[in-house]
């Protein structure tokens, strides 16, 4: 389960930054958010991407406009279902891991849209 391993490593990174975990693998029809955390007063929706090899591009390159649209859909559903509104302070982050899941280069990209 390398996807779960990548998410575990990403969560360890966010935890070290002081984030509080709210949900992991939040699913709605047509979308999923890997990690939902709270960073101070801000909700953070984090997508985790891992590529063991760059044969098909880097982890960052694997985020397509379609994937971003699905993240936005899932985030809006989360906000309205959990909080009854969609205007709370939030951001979208991306954590990429290129190479071995436990030792590859981890990058934290903030505020993707």
Give every residue of the chain whose pLDDT is below 70, as ranges.
1-2, 112-113
pLDDT at position 31 is: 87
In angstroms, the CA 62 to CA 51 distance is 9
10: phi then psi, degrees, rounded to nearest 5: -65, -40
* 57-81 tens-digit pLDDT: 899 988 999 999 999 999 999 999 9
Q: Which CATH number fits domain 2-109: 3.40.50.300, 3.40.1350.10, 1.25.40.90, 3.40.50.920?
A: 3.40.1350.10
The CA distances from residue 93 to 11, 17, 39, 47, 112, in Å, are 12, 13, 11, 6, 6
Query: Helix or strand or coil: residue 111?
Result: coil
pLDDT at residue 30, as a whole number = 82
**In this predicted structure, what is the pLDDT of residue 86?**
84
pLDDT for position 112: 55
| pLDDT of the residue at 111 | 75
Strands of the 31-39 sheet, one edge to the other: 20-28, 31-39, 42-51, 90-98, 105-109
In the prediction, which pLDDT does 46 show? 97
pLDDT of residue 66: 92
């Amino acid at each position: 389960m390398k996807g779960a391993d990548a998410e575990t490593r990403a969560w360890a990174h966010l935890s070290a930054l002081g984030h509080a975990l709210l949900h992991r693998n939040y699913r709605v029809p047509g979308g999923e958010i890997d990690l939902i955390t709270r960073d101070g007063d801000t909700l953070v929706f984090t997508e985790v991407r891992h590529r063991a090899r760059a044969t098909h591009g880097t982890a960052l390159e694997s985020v397509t406009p379609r994937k971003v649209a699905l993240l936005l859909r899932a985030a809006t559903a989360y906000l309205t279902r959990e909080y009854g509104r969609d205007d709370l302070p939030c951001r979208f982050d991306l954590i990429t891991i290129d190479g071995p899941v436990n030792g590859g280069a981890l990058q934290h990209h903030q505020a993707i849209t």
